[in-house]
Structure formats: C-alpha cells, structure tokens
Amino acid sequence: MAAPSPHADSGTPHRFSVVVVGAGPAGLTVGNILRAAGVDCLVLETETRAFVERRPRAGVIEEWAVRGLERRGLARTLLERAQTHTACEFRFAGERYRFAYTQLTGRHHFIYPQQFLVTDLLREYADVRGGEIRFGVRDVRLHGLGSGRPSVSYLCPESGERRVVAADFVAGCDGARGVTRASLPPERARLARHDYGVGWLALLAEAPPSSDCVVFGMHPRGFAGHMARSPEVTRYYLQCRPGEDPADWPHERVWAELRERLGAVGAPPLTEGRLIEKRVLDMHGYVIEPMAFGRLFLAGDAAHLTAPIAAKGLNLALYDAFLLGDGLVASLTRGDDSGLSGYSDTCLARVWDYQEFSQWLAEMYHGTASGDPSRAGAARARLRRLFDSPVAATDFAERYLGVRAHDLA
C-alpha cells in the first residue's frame, strides 16, 4: 500500500524528473544512463557510500551485460581489471567434468566483484556525470504513484526532518529488502515464490581461488561450490539445512566439508584461508508481476530474486536497468513511451528464463543428496547428457551465459 501523503510542513518540495531509490548496480546504472542523456535525477540510498563500496555480493557478469555497460561508457575499469572465465567444472563421484562453454558459444563470463562495479558506477554517476545522490536516508516512502504526480519522501540524516521530492517517475531499485515493492497495490501485483527446500552456507574466504574456473560439486553429503572473486578472495558454498546456525560451521568443519565434497581425482588441493563471511541462505526465488505500477518501475532484486544457483541476480539487475534507463530517456526527452510500456513484459521474459534455468540446475545440484534415489538418478542423467549430447551442451552453455541462439558468435 502507498504511504499516506506527507504533511504540508514537511520541508520544501524539490522536483526531479526521476527519483531512483537504491544505489546498487540497478539504481546506479539507471542513474548513469539518465545523466548521460542530461536528465536530472536523484538517487536515495539508506547506507553510506563507504558501506556500499565495500559490501561483497555477486561477482559473475555475463558478456552481453558487460557489452551493455561498455556501450553506455560504464565498463572501462571493469574491462581493465576483470578476469574472464571460459569454462566451469562439475565434480561428481570423485570425477571431474570440465565444461568449456566458450568453445561452444564464443562467449565468456567476466569475474568482477559487485562492490568494484558499484564503486565504478558511483564514481561515474556522482563525480563525473554530476548526478545527485543522498546517502544515509531513512524511512523512504512513495506517494501518489497512480496519480501521475508521484513524490518520494525520506528522513534527512542530518536534520531528521522529512524531505519531499516530486518526480515524473520513480525507479524502485532498492533490492530484496527495500520498500518500493511494498508500494504496489496487492490487488495489482502478483508474487510468485519458489522455495528450494535447502540452505546454502555462503562463505567468503581470504584465499586465492583453487581453480581457474567455477566448480560445482554434487555429492551425497550435499552440494558444494567454488567461485573466484579476486586474486585474494574466493566464494564457497556448502549446502546445509535451511535455518542452520552459521556458528555451527567452524573453520575446521567448513574446510573438511569443502575438501570432501569438492574432492576428485587429479583436482588441485583447496587453498584454505580465513573465513571473512559466513551466512546461511534460505534458498528461494521470487518474481513480482507486473514490474510497474503507474509511475513506479521496479528493477533488479526489488522485482525478482534469483537464488545464487546460476549467478543470475546481478545480470538480471543490469538487464532491467538498461531497459529502464533507455525507456525513461526516450519518454522524458522524446515523448516516446514505447520502452516504458513494454518494460515489464520484456524484463519478465528474461527473468522467467533465468528462474527456470536456476530451478533446472538446482535439481542437478541437490538431487544427489536428496535421499531420494529417483531424484538422484535424474540428477546424474542431467549431468551425463551435458557431456553426451552436443545439443544439450549448447543449450546449457547458452542458458548459463544468457545468450540466445541468434546471438551466438
């Protein structure tokens, strides 16, 4: 439900063409596209700049997304610093199965920690393109979304006063725990939620990667994953029960379990390091349909969450942001509303593609440890097919990289 209108004495209203709520990859990409076209906008963010520039999140970016950033002048540092991956590896029953997806598609993944991308996007938006941004805001509320004259209000961190900002459009880019999604009237928005029924212990280790590619271990004790982030830091995942206490996973237990589940003939030993993040994720995904209401457009995790099964969340956030930024520019500078009117449907087609792929892959990861011989057998068949059938292999590569057949190099 939209919040009630703010009081008339709540501060001098300001006006911006667009208010963007949230300074993550989605919000900052939208803001940069608007600024490049000379559109005035304000980004509101609850955290401090230092915090968002250091917050570790995702790190795998698909090639089309990097090209999209590059076309908008947003990938210079990324292209200098990111690593590229050309393959992933499955480990099953003590064997290694290397899947060289670049050979099949000509495309690769870029490995670039999300906080580096946020740092680059912030610098470009605020320091180069002169975009307005307020950090540390509190209690953000949206008003009049259906009226054609929306506004956003927030508590100013310095004075504690409520400030009101009028806008032509509001971009809801405030992530999975944001407030903009709650402004959609419940009778106009549908939430589709998928629970995977497992937990993943998400770990960041102060250790160099132990492989030149992403590694997926399918083991009777549960799934394990290895993903490079930078030369100094590596992300690992261990399947666990939902709601488990991370404190039950001390250093020794984590590394013993990773060695066991990722162990395979000829595999290099894991390089251990201090665990600097340890969280249990209750694995689920959700999609809000439609992703727009009146003058509010949702983008990124505010509209849909994909569990980190196929590293899709950051890529979807960028896809939405490109479409939303371009659609807002077309509407505000040329009076062309076609991009905005097709925004939700176009985004949702890719969102559901990625959700479906995540569900398909999740079954392959978790079937082996399910205790159900039928699911375990099917998971094994799924893996075998990737290496037996060129058609299945190409299909997987295309979906893993987010490329469609007609985009193939």
Q: Where do contacts with ligand APR occur on this chain (CB under 6 A)?
A: 21-27, 44-47, 52, 57-58, 114, 140, 173-175, 177-179, 300-302, 313-314, 317
Closest CB to ligand APR among 115 and 368? Answer: 115
Q: What is the rounded (10 degree) CA torsion for 321, 346, 296, 38?
A: 40
Whole-number minimum distance, CB 95 to ligand APR, in Å?
31
Using CA atoms, how far apart are residues 262 and 102, in angstroms rounded to an integer?
23
Closest CB to ligand APR among 254 and 321? Answer: 321
Closest CB to ligand APR among 117 and 383? Answer: 117
Whole-number minimum distance, CB 375 to ligand APR, in Å?
27
Closest CB to ligand APR among 301 and 398? Answer: 301
Segments of 113-161 assigned E as strands: 132-134, 138-143, 151-155
Whole-number minimum distance, CB 298 to ligand APR, in Å?
9
Q: Give the other-Cβ count within 10 Å of 158's Cβ.
A: 7
- The answer to whether the beta carbons of residues 152 and 16 sit under 8 Å apart is no
> Helix, strand, coil shares of the chain as percentages rounded to 5?
40, 30, 30
Closest CB to ligand APR among 205 and 302? Answer: 302
Whole-number minimum distance, CB 45 to ligand APR, in Å?
5
Closest CB to ligand APR among 168 and 320? Answer: 320
Closest CB to ligand APR among 25 and 68? Answer: 25
∠ CA 227-229-235 to the nearest 5 degrees? 45
Phi then psi dihedrals of residue 20, to 5 deg = -105, 120
Whole-number minimum distance, CB 113 to ligand APR, in Å?
10
Closest CB to ligand APR among 210 and 315? Answer: 315
Whole-number minimum distance, CB 280 to ligand APR, in Å?
16
Using CA atoms, how far apart are residues 63 and 85, in angstroms rounded to an integer?
10
- The answer to whether the beta carbons of residues 364 and 379 sit under 8 Å apart is yes
Whole-number minimum distance, CB 361 to ligand APR, in Å?
16
Using CA atoms, how far apart are residues 384 and 225, in angstroms rounded to an integer?
19
Whole-number minimum distance, CB 179 to ligand APR, in Å?
4
Whole-number minimum distance, CB 389 to ligand APR, in Å?
31
Position of tokens 């807002």?
A: 328
Closest CB to ligand APR among 203 and 379? Answer: 203
In 3D space, the residue among 114, 52, 92, 107 whose CA is nearest the CA of residue 311 turns out to be: 114
Write the CB contacts of 125 (distance below 8 Å, at least 6 apart in sequence).
28, 31, 32, 35, 43, 131, 133
Per the DSSP assignment, residues forming a β-bridge with 288 are 191
| CA distances, 281 to each of 32, 240, 360, 378 (Å) | 31, 9, 19, 25
Using CA atoms, how far apart are residues 35 and 343, in angstroms rounded to an integer?
20
